[in-house]
């Protein structure tokens, strides 16, 4: 489904100089690759200067043995990016490295600011020069231009910026992890061999053999330096953890703020089966986004589940433009129906969400062309009616099918035999968190803060 991820972060503060620190970050970034596939980078500090390497593409495409060999030090931060402000180009790849009064700073950002445009205007009027079209550089500029100590500059910056930001900041002698006061995006701390690790999701710890210690709290600044680890809680506001981290964004084997992503998706499927029961022969997931909810639906409805759609795992990104004939095949490039399994059956097709409806319509048609007697679509989240401004690219509001169609009209457009969405109450029940601690604005339009006008992704390119 075409919701686009935002970014993933990984940082290490090692107790000793570590020759293989960049290599460890590199492997950790593999575990976070689902959070962004457009560009990636690693910056390393040896306590004197910062070196970095970044590029466009997947982690596996960007770093060579020599690149990693060249990045030695005591601290490192890594980033995988999907662009939510600014286009996908090398200058926008992160970590960004900037100069400030005490040397260099590297910054890696997951999220999206809602007041970056105004802040950048102010900074430019006061002589700041920008080299990227990202909102992350606004954060870097605010911190770098302050004459205060680094921690005081971070606090001052947090008082000015609004929106979603999980951040890693690295100076020559400090690694700083920051989570915005709403806690939109996750960020957690682990450790291995006396070193500290910070990551967007704890799955990265499993990959590099680190142990989970704790989540970073909304509004918390955690500093790692020669004195060990210290925490500063400076700004508090209503927690608004993004519900889409559970619905789609995070890996199912992650645990966010003590809640298992796998369990929430399974429960969402189970509640969906209760809310929208149907007489059918086979539950089929749209791989991989619908997999876990489909298991929950099947376990609860006692309708057997089968792999009716096989995903081509290698088509993900291609720079070769397909010919018109191949383009017309649409979703067939990615998914192939298992005709023998589908033929003559009443299918329950489970996915996590519908954004524009084009892909889902093509899948329903593909199943019917493969002999399905009926196709009942079940969606393990409520209809998406509003855009996201906090680091997930859910398309503009007018592109969202549910912003201008009711459920019955969407069913007709999809040519499905029935269509059922999980209710908002059902979604919250599945997450097992208080509603007041979640952002559910893309289903309700009730944003946790004032939002800018639409279409801000390329705002700085248009200037």
Residue for token digits 């680094």? 150
Give the tokens for residue 387.
């855009």
Kindly list the distances between the CA atom of residue 313 and the CA atoms of 287, 310, 397, in Å, as whole numbers in the listed order.
10, 9, 30
Q: Which stretch binds ligand SF4 (CB under 6 A): 19-27, 341-349, 385-393, 397-405?
A: 385-393
CB of 111: closest distance to ligand SF4 in angstroms?
9
Residue 431 in the binding site for ligand SF4 (CB under 6 A): no
Q: Which residue is nearest to ligand SF4 (CB)?
A: 388
Which listed residue (117, 244, 246, 421) binds ligand SF4 by CB under 6 A?
244
Residues between 207 and 236 with contacts to ligand SF4, criterion CB under 6 A: none
> What order of strands is seen across the sheet that includes strand 228-233?
96-100, 103-113, 163-170, 175-179, 220-225, 228-233
Number of residues that bind ligand SF4 (CB under 6 A): 12
Q: Which helix (H) or strand (E) holds 306?
A: none
CB of 352: closest distance to ligand SF4 in angstroms?
12
CB of 443: closest distance to ligand SF4 in angstroms?
7
What's the start-to-end Cα distance of the chain, in Å? 32
Which lies closer to ligand SF4 via its Cβ, residue 273 or residue 422? 422
Q: Are 157 and 113 in contact (CB under 8 A)?
A: no
CA 83 remoteness from chain centre: 11
d(CA 173, CA 169): 11
d(CA 55, CA 33): 14
Residue 243 in the binding site for ligand SF4 (CB under 6 A): yes
CB of 388: closest distance to ligand SF4 in angstroms?
3
Mask: binding to ligand SF4, 387-416, rule CB under 6 A, as x and -?
A: -x-x-x-x----------------------
> Which residue numbers are catalytic?
7
- From 15, 14, 136, 130, select the one nearest 77 (Cα to Cα): 14
In 138-210, which ranges are E strands? 163-170, 175-179, 188-192, 195-199
Residue 440 in the binding site for ligand SF4 (CB under 6 A): yes
Residue 375 in the binding site for ligand SF4 (CB under 6 A): no
Q: Which stretch binds ligand SF4 (CB under 6 A): 62-70, 128-136, 384-392, 402-410?
A: 384-392
CB of 203: closest distance to ligand SF4 in angstroms?
19
Which lies closer to ligand SF4 via its Cβ, residue 209 or residue 445? 445
CB of 394: closest distance to ligand SF4 in angstroms?
6
Residue 261 in the binding site for ligand SF4 (CB under 6 A): no
Kindly give, in sequence order, each residue whose CB lies less than 8 Å from that of residue 192, ignoring residues fewer than 6 positions away: 205, 208, 209, 210, 211
CB of 110: closest distance to ligand SF4 in angstroms?
12
Kindly list the distances between the CA atom of residue 51 and the CA atoms of 71, 77, 163, 191, 215, in Å, as whole numbers in the listed order.
6, 11, 29, 23, 28
- From 442, 460, 439, select the one nearest 163 (Cα to Cα): 439
Residues between 171 and 200 with contacts to ligand SF4, criterion CB under 6 A: 184
Mask: binding to ligand SF4, 47-86, rule CB under 6 A, as x and -?
A: ----------------------------------------
d(CA 198, CA 220): 13
Residue 242 in the binding site for ligand SF4 (CB under 6 A): yes
User: 90: how many CB neighbours lie within 10 A of its CB?
Assistant: 11
- Binding footprint of ligand SF4 on the chain (CB under 6 A): 184, 242-244, 388, 390, 392, 394, 439-442
């Amino acid at each position: 489904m075409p919701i686009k991820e935002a970014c993933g972060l990984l940082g290490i503060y090692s107790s000793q100089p570590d020759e293989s620190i960049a290599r460890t970050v590199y492997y950790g970034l593999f575990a976070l690759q689902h959070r962004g596939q457009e560009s990636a980078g690693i910056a390393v500090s040896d306590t004197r200067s910062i070196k970095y390497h970044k590029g466009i593409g997947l982690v596996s495409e960007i770093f060579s043995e020599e690149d990693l060999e060249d990045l030695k030090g005591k601290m490192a931060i890594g980033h995988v990016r999907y662009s939510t402000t600014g286009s996908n180009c090398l200058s926008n790849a992160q970590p960004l490295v900037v100069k400030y009064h005490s040397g260099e700073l590297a910054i890696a950002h997951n999220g999206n600011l809602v007041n970056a445009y105004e802040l950048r205007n102010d900074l430019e009027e006061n002589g700041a020069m920008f080299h990227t079209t990202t909102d992350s550089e606004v954060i870097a500029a605010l911190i770098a231009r302050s004459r205060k100590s680094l921690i005081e500059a971070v606090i001052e910056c947090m008082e000015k910026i609004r929106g979603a930001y999980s951040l890693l900041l690295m100076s020559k002698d400090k690694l700083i992890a920051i989570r915005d006061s709403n806690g939109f995006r996750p960020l957690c701390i682990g450790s291995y061999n006396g070193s500290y690790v910070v990551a967007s999701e704890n799955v990265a710890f499993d990959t590099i053999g680190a142990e989970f210690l704790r989540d970073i709290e909304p509004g918390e600044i955690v500093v790692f330096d020669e004195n060990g680890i210290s925490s500063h809680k400076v700004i508090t506001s209503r927690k608004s953890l993004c519900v889409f981290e559970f619905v789609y964004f995070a890996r199912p084997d992650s645990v966010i703020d003590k809640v298992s992503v796998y369990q929430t998706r399974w429960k969402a499927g189970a509640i969906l089966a209760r809310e929208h029961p149907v007489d059918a022969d086979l539950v089929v997931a749209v791989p991989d986004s619908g997999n876990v909810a489909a298991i929950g639906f099947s376990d609860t409805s006692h309708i057997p589940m089968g792999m009716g759609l096989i995903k081509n795992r290698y088509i993900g990104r291609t720079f070769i433009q397909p010919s018109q004939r191949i383009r017309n095949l649409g979703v067939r490039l990615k998914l192939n129906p298992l005709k023998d399994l589908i033929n003559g059956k009443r299918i329950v097709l489970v996915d996590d969400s519908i954004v524009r409806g084009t892909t889902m319509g093509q899948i329903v048609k593909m199943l019917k062309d493969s002999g399905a007697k009926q196709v009942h679509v079940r969606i393990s989240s409520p209809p998406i009616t509003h855009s996201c401004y906090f680091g997930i690219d859910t398309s503009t509001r007018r592109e969202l099918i549910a912003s201008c169609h009711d459920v019955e009209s969407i069913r007709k457009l999809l040519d499905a035999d029935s269509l059922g969405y999980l209710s908002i109450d059902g979604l919250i029940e599945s997450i097992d968190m208080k509603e007041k601690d979640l952002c559910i604005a893309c289903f309700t339009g009730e944003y946790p803060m004032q939002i800018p006008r639409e279409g801000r992704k390329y705002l700085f390119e248009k200037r």
